[in-house]
């Protein structure tokens, strides 16, 4: 079962995330929306890795938020420092059932309850070089637009070119 | 009636376009997808106007495509030259029932049949200044991501934070 889907396997959900991770993500998305960030889940990066959640502020600042729904989920990830190369600030996000002190001090930390989240720790800024920012924005924008089009097309079966006037 | 919708008034359609305009748009979107452009309909621009369709190529080139579904639709629009300030190339798109020769030579032209489209005339390039491009990309990316999130949230009523582990 997916939590959020158009149909059994809609384009809006990729099915690989646990329910807990989806709920953590959703609470963080709500908070980020209040903070005027636009968010995009599961974005493949130039490095080949995937950001769990990436956001762009109204000023163009890029954040990556790695979601960890259990202690093991964090402990088995040795590559999280790689995400720094793709954002201006790096965060983890988890829920109240995971001890906050397992997460590195040098990253920000969100605690989500599924409905919303709070920002327990700010993240230091490490601004992207202009060329990297440009390609990161291009990647974000194209992925978001293409997913939106896929969602629209999946939802609309009843269009009919016969309605075009001659 | 909307042609393409999640529900009666889903976030994927804004309800202001005619059926013919939606069909023209859809055929053009298919062609642009084949051309490796990511497309976004109905984007409000910094000027306050709305682009019927805007696309971003894999190299980051920005196109605006103004959709005209009738002769009157084109004749009543005196402000189309304003769109140039927001893109690298400017196009019109219509269908076979509208004479192609009413459209200005200095713009590109797509002819759509609702299923697909062909590019009848290429558009000259007028590259955006870097600061304008940056703000245009930010606008595009944030709008696409926020609409995608709205679509996801509208589609997913059955999520339950009670499933989060304690």
Contact B98, B70 (CB under 8 A): yes
Q: Is residue A124 part of a domain?
A: yes
Q: Each residue's pLDDT tens digit in chain A (166 positions)?
A: 333 433 333 444 445 568 899 999 999 999 999 999 999 999 999 999 999 999 999 999 999 999 999 999 999 998 899 999 999 999 999 999 999 999 999 999 999 999 999 999 999 999 999 999 999 999 999 999 999 999 888 877 445 555 565 5
Q: Which residues of chain B make contact with A152, given a CB cutoff of 8 A?
A: 4, 12-13, 151
Q: Is residue B35 part of a domain?
A: yes
Predicted confidence at residue B153, as pLDDT, reads: 86
Q: Is residue B102 part of a domain?
A: yes
Q: Which residues of chain A make contact with B36, given a CB cutoff of 8 A?
A: none
Q: Is residue B158 part of a domain?
A: no
Instruction: Convert the pLDDT of each residue in B14-50 to its tens digit.
Output: 455 688 999 999 999 999 999 999 999 999 999 999 9
Task: Locate the chain A residue with the closest alpha carbon to B61.
Answer: A138
Q: Of B56, B16, B12, B23, give the one whose Cα is nearest residue A159.
A: B23
Q: Which residues of chain B make contact with A39, given a CB cutoff of 8 A?
A: 145, 149
Least Cα separation, residue A5 to chain B (angstroms): 6
Is the pLDDT assigned to residue B51 strictly greater than 70?
yes
* ipTM confidence score: 0.85
Count of other CB atoms within 10 angstroms of residue A75: 10
Residue of B15, B95, B144 to mutate, interface with A, max A Cβ within 10 Å: B144
Q: Is residue A141 part of a domain?
A: yes
Q: Is residue A13 part of a domain?
A: no
Q: Which residues of chain A make contact with B160, given a CB cutoff of 8 A?
A: 3, 114
Residue of A148, A150, A162, A165 to mutate, interface with B, max B Cβ within 10 Å: A148
Domain count, chain A: 1
Facing A40 at nearest CB: one of B113, B114, B148: B148
Domain of residue B23 covers: 19-146
Q: Is residue B14 part of a domain?
A: no
Q: Is residue A8 part of a domain?
A: no
> Checking phi first, is residue B42 left (phi over 0); if not, alpha (psi -120 to 50) or beta?
left
Least Cα separation, residue A34 to chain B (angstroms): 12
Inter-CA distances, A160 with A150, B2, B125, Å? 18, 11, 34
Q: Which residues of chain A make contact with B20, given a CB cutoff of 8 A?
A: 163-165
CB contact under 8 A, B5 and A96: no
């Amino acid at each position: 079962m997916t939590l959020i889907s158009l149909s059994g396997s809609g384009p809006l959900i990729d099915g690989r995330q646990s329910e807990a991770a989806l709920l953590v993500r959703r609470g963080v998305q709500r908070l980020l929306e209040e903070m005027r960030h636009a968010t995009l889940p599961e974005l493949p990066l130039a490095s080949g890795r995937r950001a769990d959640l990436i956001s762009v502020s109204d000023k163009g600042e890029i954040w990556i938020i790695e979601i960890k729904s259990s202690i093991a989920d964090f402990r088995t990830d040795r590559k999280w420092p790689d995400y720094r190369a793709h954002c201006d600030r790096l965060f983890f996000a988890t829920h109240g059932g995971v001890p906050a002190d397992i997460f590195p001090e040098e990253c920000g930390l969100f605690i989500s309850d599924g409905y919303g989240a709070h920002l327990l720790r700010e993240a230091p800024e490490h601004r992207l070089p202009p060329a990297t920012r440009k390609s990161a924005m291009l990647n974000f924008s194209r992925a978001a637009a293409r997913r939106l089009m896929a969602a629209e097309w999946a939802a609309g079966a009843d269009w009919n070119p016969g309605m075009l006037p001659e």
